[in-house]
Structure 1
Amino acid sequence: MAIREPIRTGGRSARVQQSIHRAVCELLATQPRESLTVPLIASHAGVTPSTIYRRWGDLPTLLADVSLERLRPDTAPADTGSLHGDLLAWAEQYVDELGSEPGRAMVRDFINSGAACQCSNLLRGQLQHITERALQRGEQAPAADLLVDQLAAPMVYRVVFSEQLPSTAQLKVWVARALAR
């Protein structure tokens, strides 16, 4: 099930969504993820469980929506002055965030809810921002989709399926390969 987009950006609907998101975050700060239930979240948020089911459909979709909101960057990717430097800085930060226990839990939320494409769109958007900035500086830059395939995909694979996170040396190799002509 996909995460449903809000009908309105403000008003009561937005306040209810914020209350539910806040309840999820507060509960996650005090108890294990496995103990969360829709009735518990609804009670904490001051809404009925049917409000959550109507908006999100199920618990995994709600958790993915909360994770997606937390995953949205607050700022643009770091500008180091070069495409290579920007990609390496982005990759290091991405692995650091995604490789943490909360980051891995977010990945599980996306997979369990069927909302992984929305996470992918955020990732692609960050890489698009980096490549557009490089083009404005007069640098050659590959398409964001190529960077997804050659840089992000191996990073995510290692974070999700490997016992060890990619090292900075490995990230440098992937960045160099993605930029090779």
Structure 2
Amino acid sequence: MSRRPMVRPGGRSTRVQQAVHTAVRELQAEVGRPELTVPMVAARAGVTPSTIYRRWGDLQELLSDVAVEHLRPEAPPEDHGRLLDDLRNWAEQFLEEMASPTGRAYMRDALLGDPEGDNAGLCSAYAAEQVGTMLARAAGRGEEVPDVETVIDRVVAPVMYRILFRPDGLTGAYARRLAEEALTR
């Protein structure tokens, strides 16, 4: 099934999306993900099930859309005055959020409902944007900075691999070490 293009922002479409996303989050908290159905979400959001099927296709695509929205950072990374401190702090928070049971569930949903990989690209872009913000600030302070892809390869990629395949040893110290190594190699 091909991914449906997102409709124009604003107006009724935005209100429907917000209502449906809110309904999904509330119902997941109340009844749990396994019990969630499109008719339940539609009733809570005040729309018809056909509205959800038209826009998202099925429950998995809807859950995927909600997950990607949840994984979008709400604010730029904190500025601690130097790149090493910024990157250490960000890497530790990134690991903590993504390795949590909620983070893992959102990653799973984001990827399962998106066979073409668009959501993986969005999630990658979110991380790259956060890294780019830190690097631009550091460059503005006159610090020597690697490129975004270097940080993605040396911090984000190992964290994600370990979360998915080797979750032992996922500590703040591990994330901070990756950040330090990304800047000293």
Report the TM-score, using the length of structure 1 for normalisation: 0.92
Q: How does 1:10-25 map to 2 (within 5 A)?
A: 10-25=10-25
Match of 1:174 among 170, 175, 178: 178
Question: Which deviations, in whole Å up to 9, do the C-alpha atoms of 1:44-94 show, x marking residues without a partner?
Answer: 212112211211122222112112222222221011111111111001111
Does residue 60 of the first structure (1) align with residue 60 of the second (2)?
Answer: yes
C-alpha contact (below 8 Å) 1:159/1:165 kept by paired residues: no
Q: Distance in 1 between matches of 2:4 and 2:149?
A: 25
Gap change, CA 1:3 and 1:138, over 3 Å in 2: farther
Match of 1:121 in 2: 125
Q: Distance in 2 between matches of 1:149 and 1:74?
A: 23
Gap change, CA 1:165 and 1:122, over 3 Å in 2: farther
Q: Which runs of 5+ in 1 are unaligned?
A: none
Match of 2:165 in 1: 161
Match of 2:77 in 1: 77
Report the TM-score, using the length of structure 2 for normalisation: 0.90
Q: Percent identity?
A: 46
**Which segments of structure 1 move beyond 3 Å, counting only runs of 4 or more?**
1-6
Alignment RMSD: 1.7
C-alpha contact (below 8 Å) 1:38/1:59 kept by paired residues: yes
Q: How does 1:143-154 map to 2 (within 5 A)?
A: 143-154=147-158
Question: Which deviations, in whole Å up to 9, do the C-alpha atoms of 1:23-54 show, x marking residues without a partner?
Answer: 00110111221111222211221211221121
Q: How does 1:79-118 map to 2 (within 5 A)?
A: 79-114=79-114, 115-118=119-122
Does residue 133 of the first structure (1) align with residue 109 of the second (2)?
Answer: no
Q: Secondary structure at the match of 2:79?
A: coil
Q: Which runs of 5+ in 2 are unaligned?
A: none
C-alpha contact (below 8 Å) 2:88/2:180 kept by paired residues: no
Q: Which amino acid counterpart does residue 140 of structure 1 have in structure 2?
A: E
